Homo-oligomer: A and B are copies of this chain.
Amino acid sequence: MPSYTAPVRDTQFILHDMLNVSQAGIPGYDELEADFTKAVLEEAGKLSSDLLAPLNTVGDTEGCRLENGVVYTPTGFKDAFDQVKEGGWPGLDLPEEFGGQGMPYVMGTAVGEMFSAANQAFTMYQGLTHGAASAILTHGSDAQKATYLPKMVSCVWTGTMNLTEPHCGTDLGLMRTKAEPQDDGSYKITGQKIFISAGEHDMADNIIHLVLAKIPGGPDGIKGVSLFIVPKIMVKEDGSLGERNGVSVGNIETKMGIHGNATCVMNYDGATGYLLGEKHKGMRAMFTMMNEARIGVGMQGLAQAAAAYENAVIYARERLQGRDVTGAQNPDGPADPIIVHPDVRRALMDQKSFVEGGRAFLLWGAMLIDKAHRADDEAADGLISLMTPVIKGFLTDEGYDMTVLAQQVYGGHGYIEEHGMSQFTRDARIAMIYEGANGVQALDLVGRKLAQDGGKHVMAFFDLVKGFIKDNDDNEAIKADFLDPLKAASKDLQTAGMFFMQNGMKNPNAALAGSYDFMHLFGHVCLGLMWAQMARASAAALDGGTSDAAFHETKLATGRYYMKRRLPATAMHLARIESGADTVMALDAEAF
Which A residues form the contact surface with B (CB < 8 A)?
164, 167-171, 174, 194-195, 253-257, 263, 313, 316-317, 320-322, 325-326, 334-335, 337, 339-349, 352, 400, 404, 407-408, 411-412, 414-418, 422, 425-426, 429-430, 432-434, 437-439, 442-443, 447, 507-509, 512-513, 515-516, 550, 554, 557-558, 560-561, 564-565, 568-569, 571-572, 575-576, 579, 581, 583-587, 589, 591-592
Contact = CB atoms under 8 A, between A and B. Distances in A.
A170 B584 contact: no
B256 A417 contact: yes
11 contacts: A169-B411, A254-B417, A326-B508, A326-B509, A341-B443, A345-B513, A345-B587, A564-B583, A565-B584, A568-B571, A568-B572
A410 B558 CA distance: 36
Contacts of A439: 341, 343-344, 347, 408
A569 to B, nearest CB: 6
Contact of A579 (B418, B509, B564, B583): B564
Contact of A430 (B263, B349, B415, B447): B415
A411 B170 contact: yes
A441 to B, nearest CB: 10
A335 B174 contact: yes
A591 B341 contact: no
B320 A167 contact: yes
Contacts of A347: 439, 516
A322 B171 contact: yes
Contacts of A591: 550, 554, 557
Nearest to A432: B408
Given A168-B321, A572-B571, A586-B561, A195 B412 contact: yes
A174 B322 CA distance: 9
A322 B317 CA distance: 50
Given A408-B433, A408-B437, A509-B342, A416 B576 contact: no
